[in-house]
Structure 1
Amino acid sequence: MANQQLFLGIDCGTQGTKALILDAFSGQVLGQGAAAHSMISGANGRREQDTQQWLDAFTQATHQALAAAGVDGQAILGIGVSGQQHGLVLLDEQGQVLRPAKLWCDTETTPENERLLAHLGGESGSLERLGVVIAPGYTVSKLLWTREQHPEVFARIASILLPHDFLNHWLTGRHCSEYGDASGTGYFNVRTRQWDVPLLQHIDPSGRLQVALPELIDAHQPVGRILPAIAAHLGINPNAVVSSGGGDNMMGAIGTGNIQPGVITMSLGSSGTVYAYAAEPVVSPEASVATFCSSSGGWLPLICTMNLTNATGAIRELLDLDIAAFNALVAQAPIGAEGVCMLPFLNGERVPALPHASGSLLGLTTTNLTRANLCRAVVEGTTFGLRYGLDLLRANGLEAQSIRLIGGGSKSPVWRQIVADIMNTPVICTEQSEAAALGAAIQAAWCHSGTQENLTELCERCVKLDLDSETQPIAGHVAAAQHAYEHYRQHVATL
């Protein structure tokens, strides 16, 4: 059909790769596909992935999406890639991957990160110099770790890429990076949008690392066209444009229409994120707020909590409940769970900043220790962490008229009401739950158009809100939730 404009959006996450076909003319998602990845885990916090799995999953998910959409791959005009942030992919002179990719959730490099943070002058020094506080998950400590643990690999580094940069390189042969994903490396200045070369020289005085850096490009600039061999392998038009792409949070922002001030995106996934668009790089003095760049030309102040559906899932498994039974019990218990408070820090926690904390259940009595209160307490406890983060963003001048909710937890009407009440803000879901893949496809349409202007128009057409999911805060609930939140804050303070 002449009046279709087809784009492929890819989201390469930790668990797997999702692909989606968007018709940017009608704004409809026509088909989707998915394929899983596995993790290489070690007792010392090692979390790595074999990059070949990403390429295989990319191919499988793309073929599935094309088949589901019933469209000819030769009609695809552009491809956008969203990737898990902070991961390190190292290539040699021949473009071959040197070792498995170290991921955002890898904590093996904590000692290296602490030494680099000390070199920067602690949290305040890091904020002043880079605009972010480097954390163990960031890319920079992975480079120092590689130099110390694998000197033979380090000596062969010719290219340093993030996961989405690596996929763009596979598609086009070019080494590029855009500002959004680059913000999470720890060797990028978010205010000036430039690499911090002296920090890389501190890790390796030979100058090898800065030579291996990819070229930085603007969000609306394409990386290039797909290579003919890869186009044939994927069954896609060899003239398809590959957009700049971005990190999963940056692409999730585009996929929820979060490209101008006033909207907040909140993701209820295995971890929780809250972020919003900002036109200026106003860096928060709070170390927990990461003032990343967006992949739409502005900034994206963001907080991330480590414990969300992993914590609710743990309680569900403990009590042997399916999702429906769990939600029913959550709804049965009153706000504040009759005084039962869960600090759900099963993985330690970033927001509030308690990296060495563990989870705890507080306020238990003979009368309130019920299954319903336990279920309610874990949902409230995880949501309070997001409220804590939202308050940090609001203290930094962020205004929120509405919250766009994505991720697995957003499918629960009970949880949506709890979010609306705790945040005292209306909540709505987007129709398309794969916000990062949708954002990647929208960004591809934007890059294909060749103009900087029409991203707003594309988002208005392609990001659809699910009006049935709209949830308003209830005044009586808001007061009770505030009371319960203050209890939570008191318990956190004792840690």
Structure 2
Amino acid sequence: MRILAVDIGTSTVKSGLIDFEGDGVKGFNTIEVPLLRPEPEAAEHSADYLWGIFKETVKETIRKANMEEIDGIVVSGYLFGLIGLDSQNRPLTNIFTWLDRRPAKYLPRLYKTLDPFEVYRRTGCPPLYIYQLAKLFWLLQEKKTLLEKTKTILDAKGFLFLRLIGEKVMDRSSASGSQLLNMYSLDWDFDLIESIGIDPGILPRLVEPNTIIGDLPVSIANELGIKSGAPIVAGVFDGAAVSIGLGGLNQEIATSHLSTSTMLRVASPYPVIDKSPYMRFQTYYSLKKTWLPGGAVNSGGVVLRWFRDSLGGLEKVLAQDLGISVYEILDREAMLSPPGANGIIFLPYLSGERFPIFGNNSSAVIFGLREWHTKRDILRAFMEGVAYNLNLVNEALRENNLRFKEVRITGGGAQSQLWLQILADVLNTPIKAFTRGDAALFGSALVALETLDPSFELTKFDQYLRFDRIALPSENRLVYEKQYEKFKKVLNSLIPLFNEN
């Protein structure tokens, strides 16, 4: 069976043809998505431009794969996007992405109206500005006339479905990251939505991820260069697709995606919320009555990208001369600093963070820097800081009886054996890296395969997974245990200052 899988990200749209009877992924293609910033703190996508990129990357995949006949189409996409449509399904807005900070200033007012812990208990989503609930409240405060004209809201993936088949739908997996879905009933929480003055009639129809939502029309098929009639499967959100692609429906396996941001999630047969008052993790829905408690954090590969662009001028030149990636040079340099980075602690909050107790206002901090430290110490501290931050999520999960025996990881950061070893030592858990393909596309294709082929079971494909790198906890974990406690002390001492901003 041949499945066309597409992943809609905040920075790129990716596509590939997964041939389950042939040799894996064919025609992989990726196109960057420009982020629009029409005013301070805005971060938007043009919906029509995104639709154009979607078609362009699919056409290129079909051309590369040299295959016009496919058995199904499936799409995964980023969470938290919101676009308003009028009565003719025309965009009234761009797509507001999760990077859009304009709703943040209204968050205190929103949670004077609502009990934040009650919202968390019902939706699994902590009180953060990234969610559609906060975006709707912001629109209510600043763009009320526009909101009154809005007849439907969708996310980025839902808008593409509208263009593909003319249906306004949202899969329950993506909807679980909106803060508008009751995570127990898996239906819209109408009481919550109405309590802030929003008409629930603007919400799209909900479907299960393993639902065929329509067939590819002739007009679109001709434009894409493929035969019409292929069934379109709703699919899951991007993080769930990664988890599925890594075998993460097994409750003993946690999954992570070390890219610009990163995450740590583990499967559960029931919804789970943090028993502490700090709401330290989110719980989103995957499919087939499986939930994914865990945490997505802003701070991942972005810290190395910042280091590369701000402090890595010489490394860029050297990498160009040697014909290798600059990140390989940075990796080698960081290896020359000992575990613990000679005492430097880095709080990696270059883009703020998603922890309610401090996240919205946090910023990056280098603590303990002395004149005898070197750039390699700072570089290693950056990598360790990301691991310590992810361990905050790990601790929260384990304190809530969500325990796992290994972490499976993908993304650009998984290419670094050093970073994998740091994570294994800090999390005190074996790490397995999958870097030979795109886990999100593969996971989405698996969802489509099970939907279209009743003989296939998602839970049984795990035996076919092969991992490129493995890192086991070493004696260095004892160093990291001490450094992690120092990391938490530094963080806790700065939380009051963060919250003054």
Q: Deviation digits for residues 307-364 of structure 1, max 9, x if unmatched?
A: 2211122222313222122111111110001111111222222247432122221112
Judged with a 3 Å threshold, the aligned counterparts in structure 2 of structure 1 residues 216 and 270 are, in CA distance, closer, same or farther, namely same
1:85 corresponds to: 79
| Partner Cα separation in structure 1 for residue 112 and residue 250 of structure 2 | 36
8 Å CA contact 1:251–1:295 kept in 2: the answer is no
| Partner Cα separation in structure 2 for residue 365 and residue 111 of structure 1 | 37
Q: Deviation digits for residues 357-398 of structure 1, max 9, x if unmatched?
A: 22221112333x111111111100111101111111111111
1:70 corresponds to: 66
Q: Secondary structure at the match of 1:291?
A: strand
1:131 corresponds to: 124
> CA shift at 1:458, angstroms?
4.8
TM-score between the two structures when normalised by the length of structure 1: 0.92
Judged with a 3 Å threshold, the aligned counterparts in structure 2 of structure 1 residues 413 and 304 are, in CA distance, closer, same or farther, namely same
| Partner Cα separation in structure 2 for residue 151 and residue 192 of structure 1 | 30
The AA in structure 2 aligned to 1:419 is: L
1:287 corresponds to: 279
Question: Aligned match of 1:222 in 187, 192, 212?
Answer: 212
The AA in structure 1 aligned to 2:466 is: L
Q: Secondary structure at the match of 1:33?
A: strand
2:341 corresponds to: 337
Question: Aligned match of 2:233 in 243, 252, 257?
Answer: 243
Q: Deviation digits for residues 95-137 of structure 1, max 9, x if unmatched?
A: 2111101111111011333322222213x22223333223101
| Partner Cα separation in structure 2 for residue 35 and residue 493 of structure 1 | 40
1:360 corresponds to: 365
Moved more, 9-18 or 140-149: 140-149
| Partner Cα separation in structure 2 for residue 94 and residue 432 of structure 1 | 44
| Partner Cα separation in structure 1 for residue 457 and residue 122 of structure 2 | 34
Percent identity, aligned pairs only, is 26
> CA shift at 1:51, angstroms?
0.8
Q: Secondary structure at the match of 2:102?
A: coil
The AA in structure 2 aligned to 1:67 is: R
Q: Secondary structure at the match of 2:459?
A: helix
8 Å CA contact 2:103–2:134 kept in 1: the answer is yes
* Mapping of residues 258-407 of structure 1, within 5 Å: 258-285=248-275, 286-317=278-309, 318-320=311-313, 321=315, 322-351=326-355, 353-367=358-372, 369-407=373-411
The AA in structure 1 aligned to 2:469 is: S
- How many residues are matched? 479
Structure 1 residues not aligned, in runs of 5+: none
* Mapping of residues 443-458 of structure 1, within 5 Å: 443-449=447-453, 454-458=457-461
Moved more, 60-69 or 411-420: 60-69
The AA in structure 1 aligned to 2:453 is: S
1:94 corresponds to: 88
| Partner Cα separation in structure 2 for residue 325 and residue 94 of structure 1 | 53
| Partner Cα separation in structure 1 for residue 122 and residue 269 of structure 2 | 20
The AA in structure 2 aligned to 1:113 is: L
Judged with a 3 Å threshold, the aligned counterparts in structure 2 of structure 1 residues 27 and 253 are, in CA distance, closer, same or farther, namely farther
Structure 2 residues not aligned, in runs of 5+: 316-325, 495-501
**Does residue 183 in structure 1 map to residue 176 in structure 2?**
yes
Judged with a 3 Å threshold, the aligned counterparts in structure 2 of structure 1 residues 432 and 279 are, in CA distance, closer, same or farther, namely farther
The AA in structure 2 aligned to 1:330 is: A
Q: Secondary structure at the match of 2:346?
A: strand
2:485 corresponds to: 486
| Partner Cα separation in structure 2 for residue 490 and residue 56 of structure 1 | 48
| Partner Cα separation in structure 2 for residue 28 and residue 480 of structure 1 | 41
**Does residue 143 in structure 1 map to residue 139 in structure 2?**
no
Q: Secondary structure at the match of 2:212?
A: coil
| Partner Cα separation in structure 2 for residue 378 and residue 307 of structure 1 | 10
> CA shift at 1:431, angstroms?
4.1
8 Å CA contact 1:180–1:295 kept in 2: the answer is yes
1:428 corresponds to: 432
| Partner Cα separation in structure 2 for residue 445 and residue 458 of structure 1 | 11
8 Å CA contact 2:345–2:385 kept in 1: the answer is yes
> CA shift at 1:67, angstroms?
2.2
| Partner Cα separation in structure 1 for residue 235 and residue 151 of structure 2 | 22
Superposed CA RMSD in Å reads: 1.9
The AA in structure 1 aligned to 2:459 is: T
Moved more, 23-32 or 100-109: 23-32
Judged with a 3 Å threshold, the aligned counterparts in structure 2 of structure 1 residues 419 and 27 are, in CA distance, closer, same or farther, namely farther
Q: Secondary structure at the match of 1:41?
A: coil
8 Å CA contact 2:113–2:196 kept in 1: the answer is no
2:498 corresponds to: none
| Partner Cα separation in structure 1 for residue 441 and residue 414 of structure 2 | 17
> CA shift at 1:238, angstroms?
1.6
1:110 corresponds to: 104
Q: Secondary structure at the match of 1:377?
A: helix
2:499 corresponds to: none
8 Å CA contact 1:218–1:297 kept in 2: the answer is no
| Partner Cα separation in structure 2 for residue 439 and residue 27 of structure 1 | 16
Moved more, 352-361 or 271-280: 352-361
> CA shift at 1:450, angstroms?
5.0
> CA shift at 1:87, angstroms?
0.4
| Partner Cα separation in structure 1 for residue 359 and residue 105 of structure 2 | 17
2:497 corresponds to: none
Judged with a 3 Å threshold, the aligned counterparts in structure 2 of structure 1 residues 459 and 10 are, in CA distance, closer, same or farther, namely farther
8 Å CA contact 1:83–1:246 kept in 2: the answer is yes
| Partner Cα separation in structure 1 for residue 485 and residue 377 of structure 2 | 18
Moved more, 315-324 or 15-24: 315-324
Moved more, 14-23 or 278-287: 278-287
| Partner Cα separation in structure 2 for residue 391 and residue 237 of structure 1 | 49
Question: Aligned match of 2:246 in 256, 262, 282?
Answer: 256
The AA in structure 2 aligned to 1:225 is: D
1:473 corresponds to: 473
> CA shift at 1:269, angstroms?
1.3
| Partner Cα separation in structure 1 for residue 299 and residue 56 of structure 2 | 30
8 Å CA contact 2:4–2:18 kept in 1: the answer is yes
TM-score between the two structures when normalised by the length of structure 2: 0.91
